Amino acid sequence: MDRLFFILFNDFINELGSSLSNKIIKTLLFSFIPTIILTNEESSNSIDNQFSYYRYWNPYKRVLDFKGDEASFIGDTFYKVSFNKEKRIKTVTTIDKNNRERETYYFLWSKSGLRSEYKVKFHTRGNASQLDEFLFSDQLSLVRTDWIADVKSRNDGRPKAIAFRDHLDYIYFYYNFNYTRYKGDSFSAEVIESSYFDSDKNFVGRHLTFWENGIDLRMIQYFNSKNEIFYTKEFIHDRPKQETIRVLIDERGKEIERKIIPYMPIDRYAYNLEWTGRKVIDHTLQNLTSLELALEFANRANEVLEKANQEVLKAKEALNEANRIAKNANKALKRAEGLAKDTESFEKEMDMAKVKAQKAIERMYDAERDAEEARLEAAKAKASLDAVRKAKEIEDFSKEQAKEGRKEARKQRKEAKKLAREAKRALQDSLFNSEQTKAYLTFSLGQPFFIETTLDSHIVGMHYTFGLGNRNMFRISNKNINLSIDINWYDFKSDSLQENFQTLSYFITTQIDPRLAWFWIPKAMESGLRIGGGLVSPGYGFTFGYTIIYNLLPTPMNIGITSQVNWVSTTFSKEVQTYWTYFGLMVGFSFEDKLPSIFDIEVPSFF
């Protein structure tokens, strides 16, 4: 206890500076304070040794509630409290369910009792979250025995910064807290931002706690060191059913768990936030790198600037009020001296005047500090607004340039693909000698499918096709056309001799290769669109099909697959029109001028 007091006392002395008058004050304080402390401790042993016990403790408002006997609290968490001479809270020790001391809060109060600061000493190894389960994160939370949490408070008592240090005064990590207001489409909330840093002052992460209407915990969002959201907790409270549902969401916004947890009742001493004008933080901006969202932040900064100006006016009024109080206190002091008729009454009047003067001085200092901070925040807000607007103009210009660049890139890619296809067609032409006529033989066999109902009762057999033709017989629209004679064997057997359809057909067929030349098609592969017609014994017919063949270069052999639709008009016992489709395999050979050129005729080019 004494050691912690001297740590607090040493921090106070260091803040006095190094001027001559302050050195004299330091000497006097170091000479007399220890004696005063010992005297006070001896004289107040009877008070300090008398502890009170409570079930509820709010360190931010310095509020205790549900007082009782120590024996009645055993088995639950409760608080052991001591008070100073002025009946203000001196220490608060947390006793856990196992009746062990967990941590102790040590308070220092101003003379007037309007302000206080505190430190927390940990008696066991644990986590910072045992002080507040929502303000701290597991990323930086581990504390050890005899560590101290050095708390800097705001005017309303809530923490502004907390540093965690060991008994040698080495800081392991620290937290900064900002408080603001969020108003969404469906609810408004108080938002507390907790930012955490390691011993080297490196940013480790942050999280945002949303308290709906400053009362109900609605959501906690966690961000990593790159300021990217990676985890979210949402809380849905059903007061009639007295239950709370917790929803866990990952970094992609996908729900990973939904669970009913113990009901989270309203804290009777919860804070309702009001804008302080100290920070401009917009927690609706999840993508802090987007300048379009930053522009929204800049517009809100204008509102903050106006509020800051109002705060300056209020601070000036407070300063004037403090001066007035100081003057009145001085008059009261003089009046007390003039009216004093005996020593006792004079001392009482003088003590009251000193207290009023001390309060006036503290209020004056607070007003000056608040006015200066408001002026600084107003200047920051205006500078942020100008910078964001300039950045937005630069980004708009960059987007226009990038858009033009993408259009040009797409055009160049399109041209490149077109040239690649033309180059591939030229290569295929060189491989297949497209400008020379070549004779070729083909043989294919296939199985019929999708047969028209007239032939449903027939036994379907394999179909065979033998073809003899010449490549590049004539051209249409600069496309080389092949011409061949195909002899087909159709096999649809029937028990009835009159219905039996096993016959030959003789078709003249033209074939064109569209030369798609896509990048994934092999160079040695050809495709052909086939159209033909001719005699079917008995009758006539037409065929339409498509072939894909692969040339086994440098040999004259090729293999492939073929499909075609056959339509015939023939005579069984009467005229019948029918059709079917078949798929099959094909084998072929190409020859130069070694076979008789039966198609060696002059055919003009069309189109």
Residue 288 is given by DSSP the state T
| 429-448 pLDDT per residue, tens | 666 655 555 788 999 999 99
Among 44-53, 301-310, 513-522, the minimum mean pLDDT is found in 44-53
User: Which comes out higher in pLDDT, residue 324 or 605?
Assistant: 324
Q: Is the pLDDT of residue 275 over 50?
A: no
Q: Residue 597: what pLDDT?
A: 45
Residue 258 is given by DSSP the state E
Other C-beta atoms within 10 Å of 129: how many?
A: 14
* Residue in 126, 153, 176 with CA at minimum distance from that of residue 62: 153
On the question of a cis peptide bond just before residue 159, with omega within 30 degrees of 0, the verdict is no
Q: Residue 8: what pLDDT?
A: 53
> Could you tell me the pLDDT band of residue 410, with boundaries at 50, 70 and 90?
confident
Residue 573 tokens, joined: 């016992």
Every domain of the chain with CATH number 2.40.160.20 lies at 433-591
Q: Residue 442: what pLDDT?
A: 92
pTM of the complete model: 0.41
- For the chain, what is the mean pLDDT? 78
Q: Residue 433: what pLDDT?
A: 58
| 126-159 pLDDT per residue, tens | 999 999 989 999 889 999 999 999 999 988 889 9
As a whole number of angstroms, the distance between CA 27 and CA 59 comes to: 34
Mean of the pLDDT values across residues 232-256?
91
Mean of the pLDDT values across residues 330-348?
67
User: Which comes out higher in pLDDT, residue 250 or 14?
Assistant: 250
Q: Is the pLDDT of residue 44 over 70?
A: no
Q: Residue 287: what pLDDT?
A: 38
Q: Residue 21: what pLDDT?
A: 46
Mean of the pLDDT values across residues 93-109?
94
> Could you tell me the pLDDT band of residue 521, with boundaries at 50, 70 and 90?
confident
Mean of the pLDDT values across residues 336-345?
63
Q: Is the pLDDT of residue 170 over 80?
A: yes
Q: Is the pLDDT of residue 119 over 70?
A: yes
Could you tell me if 320 and 312 are in contact, meaning their C-beta atoms sit under 8 angstroms apart?
Answer: no
CATH 3.40.50.10440 for the 433-591 domain, yes or no: no
Count of residues for the chain?
607
